[in-house]
Structure 1
Amino acid sequence: SSPVSYRSRIPAWWPVAQLPVSLLLVLSRHSVLALRTPGLGEPRGHAPADDSPAHQGRSVAILVVGRLLDFSNTTATAAKTAVLSSTRGLPGGQEATPQDVNPWGSFEEHVLRSIPTSVGHKVDVFLCVGVVLGVVPRMVTGVYKFSVGGQMERLHRCYQEVSASRSYDFYIRTRPDFVYLTDFPAVAHMRADRIYSRFRMATGISGLTSSHFSWNQCDTSCNVRSEVASGYMNDDMIFVVPKALCGKAFLPGRKAAEWQRRFRTPPDWITMPGWPEGAWTRRLIAAGVLTEPLAITGYPSLSWRNHRGMAIPCGPTPVEKVRCGSRRPMAEVHKNVLTAAWHGA
């Protein structure tokens, strides 16, 4: 059945269990330039950021895409229990999240307050969910209520709804259950021809820190041990997509599968067959989409395997990945990607 769409009245070592709840942030253009000197939590030796005056004032938006968004502060309802039981994945190896953890509060503090500082004005926030509990916060721009299959299909529908009324320069996808421990990076300095994401796995890349990883963050080694391999696996919880790449990043399931069939493995590339993050990465590479590392620390509070214990120790102070294989500049890694990418329409 067709999704029900409506505007709100008031203007988050082994695979992480998938929670098909995501957030797509739509931001705006910047008027404040940040320092060009990279900090420890920022990539070194990577492609230069696009921060010229000609690119100030970018528009950026937030879409919350998932099955459930709970503003009610209740511990148990029939709707909440049903959704959580189908989204948390297998309970083995679960990590408890304290009851007082507030994902939306961390989102307000580290995303909604930090991004306007970068781009110079407020962001637009959209919710695309099956169930909303409680009162929708005042900063939410719009709500679209629908239920579809997997998280990528849900993300595609959300992007369609938002872009039908307005186009944004950048779209940031994130999960509403994600607990942010650090501020979101400066969107004003991001390139308009790359997507930005954390890495589920990576090796053979220079300039990485714990903030660029979604798993095994605080170790001084990259989480793939190889002296010859290189490459990355895109984390699918949080990523930034510029307008020019939306047609390749926000594909429906059928078209995404077609891109994956065209995938060719880049030279010496790392592979993890069967992982959702691996499928997401293959689709991007097959479409010729290049990725820059995104520095953000946190964990998905509603996943059984949320890796909270891994993320917290080095959250405030990033750990540099000093043992990361061949440690090639990102430009060399991108050459490998383009060598293998299928350049089609």
Structure 2
Amino acid sequence: SSPVSYRSRIPAWWPVAQLPVSLLLVLSRHSVLALRTPGLGEPRGHAPADDSPAHQGRSVAILVVGRLLDFGNTTATPAETAAPSAARGLPGGQEATPQDVNPWGSFEEHVLRPIQTSVGRKVDVFLCVGVVSGVVPRTVTGVYNFSVGGQMERLHRCYQEVSASRSYDFYIRTRPDFVYLTDFPPVAHMRANRMYSRFRMATGISGLTSSHFSWNQCDTSCNVRSEVASGYMNDDMIFVVPKALCGKAFLPGRKAAEWQRRFRTPPDWITMPGWPEGAWTRRLIAAGVLTEPLAITGYPSLSWRNHRGMAIPCGPTPVEKVRCGSRRPMAEVHKNVLTAAWHGA
């Protein structure tokens, strides 16, 4: 049978805990399993901290955006995940993941609780997925069930649905299958005119650690080898968008293509491959969006690449990127972005 369409039944503000169980159960033959790890501390951040008391009380919406989410396995414990005894092989070369890994448990421990502590208030969590299996936890504010083409279209649709009911100071995107190994940085310290993300590729930037990267994290070198280039390519698994930048970060396909056509390469910028992350970064640069590196460690459990194998060795202890080209201050890199930004009408 087709998945239940939550959009027509559940407004974004509706407390999921009050819904009948029949609306919270959707059968799926897929499974997203989970990891609970003890607190491993917070990696060293990169952006200047803004710890003014005025930033306590910021409103935050977390958008869990993906194809499927399974709440059926919630029994993992830190002791079990410390030394997993079995792994499941997945078809098509998909990376094997320990059976007792629980992404949602790691999300609540390393993302939801630290962010609520940081802002000093409840954080709203919205599920925007094609299929939900199991009983939705009470920590979830609302569920939107829809299937669209690509992840950026799904993300745009999710933002539209959530923001139609109310506006938030910050929106955080995460994947439903992401396993967090360290705590999310304090949102209360983040700047209201900057986006925050990990980097898929980067070099020529000072102060970076393994926690700022989503690929080849644990090497002491940045993953672009150049002594003259500087710049980054945004990773799209996890990122933070302040309210002021939502109109440029959460774009539908047609508008995204317009920004893509306006892209000009910033001075001395790194070469970005034709990957989805590269296309997204080009749109952000064209729109003049400035990105700060986000320090968070983890991996997607439903991966077609070796994300888990790369992330775990330096998960608890960040590795400083001592060989990172010219290692310019982030402010200089941002000047290059603004030089290339589109300033038309």
* Aligned residues of 1:29 and 1:120 also touching (Cα < 8 A): no
* Aligned residues of 1:228 and 1:326 also touching (Cα < 8 A): yes
Larger mean CA deviation between 87-96 and 155-164 belongs to: 87-96
Larger mean CA deviation between 52-61 and 75-84 belongs to: 75-84
* Aligned residues of 2:13 and 2:141 also touching (Cα < 8 A): no
* Aligned residues of 2:34 and 2:100 also touching (Cα < 8 A): no
Distance 2:25 2:243 in 1: 12
- Following superposition, the deviation at residue 53 of structure 1 comes to 2.9
Partner of 2:155: 155
Distance 1:83 1:156, change over 3 A: farther
Distance 2:17 2:276 in 1: 10
- Following superposition, the deviation at residue 76 of structure 1 comes to 19
TM-score by length of 2: 0.82
Distance 1:52 1:88, change over 3 A: farther
Distance 1:321 1:236, change over 3 A: same
What stretches of structure 2 of length at least 5 have no aligned partner?
none
* Aligned residues of 2:103 and 2:177 also touching (Cα < 8 A): yes
Distance 1:74 1:173, change over 3 A: closer
Distance 2:65 2:321 in 1: 32
Partner of 1:98: 98
Within 5 Å, which residues of 2 pair with 1:265-276?
Answer: 265-276=265-276
Larger mean CA deviation between 21-30 and 146-155 belongs to: 21-30
Distance 1:27 1:225, change over 3 A: farther
Distance 1:132 1:107 in 2: 16
- Following superposition, the deviation at residue 129 of structure 1 comes to 1.2
- Following superposition, the deviation at residue 254 of structure 1 comes to 0.9
- Following superposition, the deviation at residue 54 of structure 1 comes to 3.1
- Following superposition, the deviation at residue 151 of structure 1 comes to 0.2
* Aligned residues of 1:26 and 1:62 also touching (Cα < 8 A): no
* Aligned residues of 1:130 and 1:147 also touching (Cα < 8 A): yes
Distance 1:187 1:251 in 2: 23
* Aligned residues of 2:27 and 2:132 also touching (Cα < 8 A): no
What stretches of structure 1 of length at least 5 have no aligned partner?
none
Identity %: 95
- Following superposition, the deviation at residue 6 of structure 1 comes to 3.7
* Aligned residues of 1:204 and 1:229 also touching (Cα < 8 A): yes
- Following superposition, the deviation at residue 226 of structure 1 comes to 0.5
SS in 1 for 2:314: coil
* Aligned residues of 1:34 and 1:118 also touching (Cα < 8 A): no
Distance 1:23 1:52, change over 3 A: farther
Larger mean CA deviation between 246-255 and 33-42 belongs to: 33-42
- Following superposition, the deviation at residue 273 of structure 1 comes to 2.6
SS in 2 for 1:223: coil
- Following superposition, the deviation at residue 272 of structure 1 comes to 2.4
* Aligned residues of 1:262 and 1:286 also touching (Cα < 8 A): yes
Distance 1:324 1:14 in 2: 47
Distance 2:172 2:297 in 1: 15
SS in 2 for 1:173: strand
Distance 1:14 1:321 in 2: 45
Deviations 1:242-271 (A, max 9, x none): 000000000001100110000000011112
* Aligned residues of 2:84 and 2:100 also touching (Cα < 8 A): no
SS in 2 for 1:312: helix
- Following superposition, the deviation at residue 51 of structure 1 comes to 2.9
Distance 1:256 1:87 in 2: 39
Larger mean CA deviation between 31-40 and 110-119 belongs to: 31-40
- Following superposition, the deviation at residue 237 of structure 1 comes to 0.2
Answering whether residue 18 of structure 2 is matched by residue 33 of structure 1, we say no
Distance 2:114 2:29 in 1: 13
* Aligned residues of 1:221 and 1:322 also touching (Cα < 8 A): yes
Distance 1:312 1:80, change over 3 A: closer
Distance 1:220 1:277 in 2: 23
* Aligned residues of 1:28 and 1:168 also touching (Cα < 8 A): no
- Following superposition, the deviation at residue 67 of structure 1 comes to 1.5
- Following superposition, the deviation at residue 331 of structure 1 comes to 0.3
SS in 2 for 1:26: coil
Deviations 1:160-213 (A, max 9, x none): 000000100000001010000000010000000000000000000000000000
* Aligned residues of 1:69 and 1:133 also touching (Cα < 8 A): yes
Distance 1:86 1:15 in 2: 37
* Aligned residues of 1:16 and 1:303 also touching (Cα < 8 A): no
- Following superposition, the deviation at residue 97 of structure 1 comes to 0.7
Distance 1:74 1:17, change over 3 A: closer
* Aligned residues of 2:28 and 2:131 also touching (Cα < 8 A): no
Larger mean CA deviation between 211-220 and 107-116 belongs to: 107-116
- Following superposition, the deviation at residue 50 of structure 1 comes to 3.1
Distance 2:146 2:277 in 1: 24
Deviations 1:124-155 (A, max 9, x none): 11111111111111111001111111000000
Distance 1:45 1:135, change over 3 A: closer
Distance 1:110 1:84, change over 3 A: closer
Answering whether residue 162 of structure 2 is matched by residue 165 of structure 1, we say no
Total equivalences in the alignment: 345
Larger mean CA deviation between 191-200 and 73-82 belongs to: 73-82
Distance 1:233 1:89, change over 3 A: farther
Deviations 1:77-135 (A, max 9, x none): 99999999999999776431111111111111101111111111221111111111111
Within 5 Å, which residues of 2 pair with 1:186-335?
Answer: 186-335=186-335
